[in-house]
Amino acid sequence: MSATLESEVKSLQDMARKTDDQINGLTKSFSGLIEQLKKTPAPGSPNASQVFGLPNARIGEDPLTSRGYSFLKMLGVVSNQIKPEQAKVELQVAERLHNTLSRDAGNQAYDYAGLGNRFLSPLGTSYLMDAFVPVDFRREMKSLVCAGVDKADHGEMKWMRTQHLKSLGYDSKALSWLNELTGGAIVAPPEMGELIELLRNKEALVNAGARVVPLPPQGRMKFPRQTSASTTYWVGENAPITESLVGTGEVTLQAKKLAVLIKAPNELIRFASPAAEALLRDDMTKSLALGLDLAGLQGTGTDTQPRGVINFKDIIKLTSSDPRPNGDAFSARDIYRFVSAVEEANAEFECFIMRPKSLYKWYQLRADAVAQGDNQGPFVFNLIREAGADTPATLAGYPVVKSTQVSQARTKGSSSNLTYIVGGMWSDLLIGMFGAIEFAATTQGDTSFANDQTWVRGILSADIQARHESAFVWMDNLDPTI
């Protein structure tokens, strides 16, 4: 038995040695293959490092970074305040927008100078037409812009605070936190909270239900429209039928230029925090949006400005049931005159637009109790609601959009602080908008060069038209104080 066991152990040891020799041989062969591959350049490449990637220095940021779209980096590239390598995300978006809207669109191309002179930046992906900008690219732009808005790059902020600004001498305050010119303790830079935004007007037209349609790259869109119907006649036996015609026309959206210009110190663009990024981005885009909204309400309708609703040629004009020399008074019965006027024009009334104080003045209207005009009876509009429910912004069952975009500088007699109310079928109002903002920047000029500033210009192309102007009604010269 002992001899048999000894023989089996010896056999197992021989097998283990053979296995080790095989493993060592494979290891040596694989190592030789690795060395051979390192010396073999990739096809069409003179540099062998492209196979395994030697530790080369990378210029600029990673183009595959998860960083979102930065409007300040875009402005920095346009004004030559930062190197293109530091804004690869913005450059790639601009180049692809340029290709789809300017190069690939053929005879409908968006006409602008292109990269190097001006810069296309995404405004609203839903305002870019599917025929020219692929859906995947639009979704990608939306994700990039949302990431740039919602998420700050904390690593970049830390680098700016601890390395970049420190190298420029901005790492600490002077002695004494009360007086920077006197002795004391070294005080760290103050912590900054989130940006306190300006209280702005609320957009009226979109909230009321106006339709936003994307403009094509060449900025012009036509809608065929029927202007008159055929006519029927009763005729006798063997009598001729009177001919009638069907009238046609068109509604044309022709892009008009809405622009904004800001002057920023170059330090803001070079070293800005996310709060400064949000300030410039939001301020410019909101200003453009409110400028377009205001023109849609009361624009003059020139070659350079859309015609506002209250200036439509065929809009229905009402006068107050209680006219006054220096401003007409509110009257409860006028609410239903708005609705009936629109429905008499074969349209459907959808919404009112007025200033907030106009609505709440109407909520205060009371019926007469004893004598005519004493206004001591019950409230005209029912304010009873369930506990915890808000007061709905409605009149006669129709929603009300409250906005200070509505003017309170209308004049009648000696009054110059009057307002108006407008209503109608807002889904018939078309807002044509081009889905990109064209940015341009310059550091040249007597003032900008001497002050080390960058002047940034943003241009939005848009227009506003109504499918049927008679679907809207308004009442002017109302005094909300009486």
Q: How far apart are CA 332 and CA 383, in angstroms?
A: 15
According to the model, what pLDDT value does residue 185 have?
45
> Tokens at residue 431, please?
């807002």
Q: How far apart are CA 433 and CA 144, in angstroms?
A: 21
Q: How far apart are CA 160 and CA 183, in angstroms?
A: 27
CATH number at residue 216: 3.90.1690
399 within domain boundaries: yes
Q: How far apart are CA 341 and CA 319, in angstroms?
A: 12
According to the model, what pLDDT value does residue 458 have?
84
Burial 409-431, CB ≥16 within 10 A → b, else e? ebebeebeebbbbbbbbbbbbbb
DSSP string, 199-244: --PPP-HHHHTPEEEEPPTTSEEEEEEEEE--------TTPPPPP-
Domain that holds residue 217: 189-226+253-482
Q: What is the Cα 175 distance to its own chain's centre?
A: 45
> Tokens at residue 24, please?
């060592």
According to the model, what pLDDT value does residue 215 have?
86
386 within domain boundaries: yes
299 within domain boundaries: yes
Question: How confident is the prediction along the chain (482 residues), in pLDDT tens digits per residue?
Answer: 556 656 665 666 666 566 666 656 656 665 665 565 555 554 444 444 443 344 444 455 655 556 778 877 777 777 777 788 888 888 888 888 878 776 655 655 565 555 555 677 777 767 777 777 788 887 888 777 777 655 555 555 555 555 655 565 555 554 444 554 544 444 555 554 554 555 667 789 999 999 988 888 888 888 888 888 889 999 998 899 988 889 898 889 999 999 988 888 877 777 666 666 667 777 888 888 899 999 999 999 988 999 999 999 999 999 999 999 999 988 888 999 999 999 999 999 999 999 999 998 888 877 766 676 666 777 766 666 555 566 678 888 899 999 999 999 999 999 999 999 999 999 999 999 887 788 887 877 778 878 888 888 888 889 999 999 999 999 999 998 87
257 within domain boundaries: yes
472 within domain boundaries: yes
Interhelix angle 274-298/71-78, nearest 10 degrees? 90
Give me the residue label for tokens 């206004």: 375
430 within domain boundaries: yes
According to the model, what pLDDT value does residue 50 have?
40
217 within domain boundaries: yes
Give me the residue label for tokens 């006027």: 341
213 within domain boundaries: yes
Number of H helices, E strands in the chain: 13, 17
| pTM for the structure as a whole | 0.67
Number of domains comprising the chain: 1
DSSP string, 367-404: --SSSTT---SSBSS-----TT-----EETTEEEEE-T
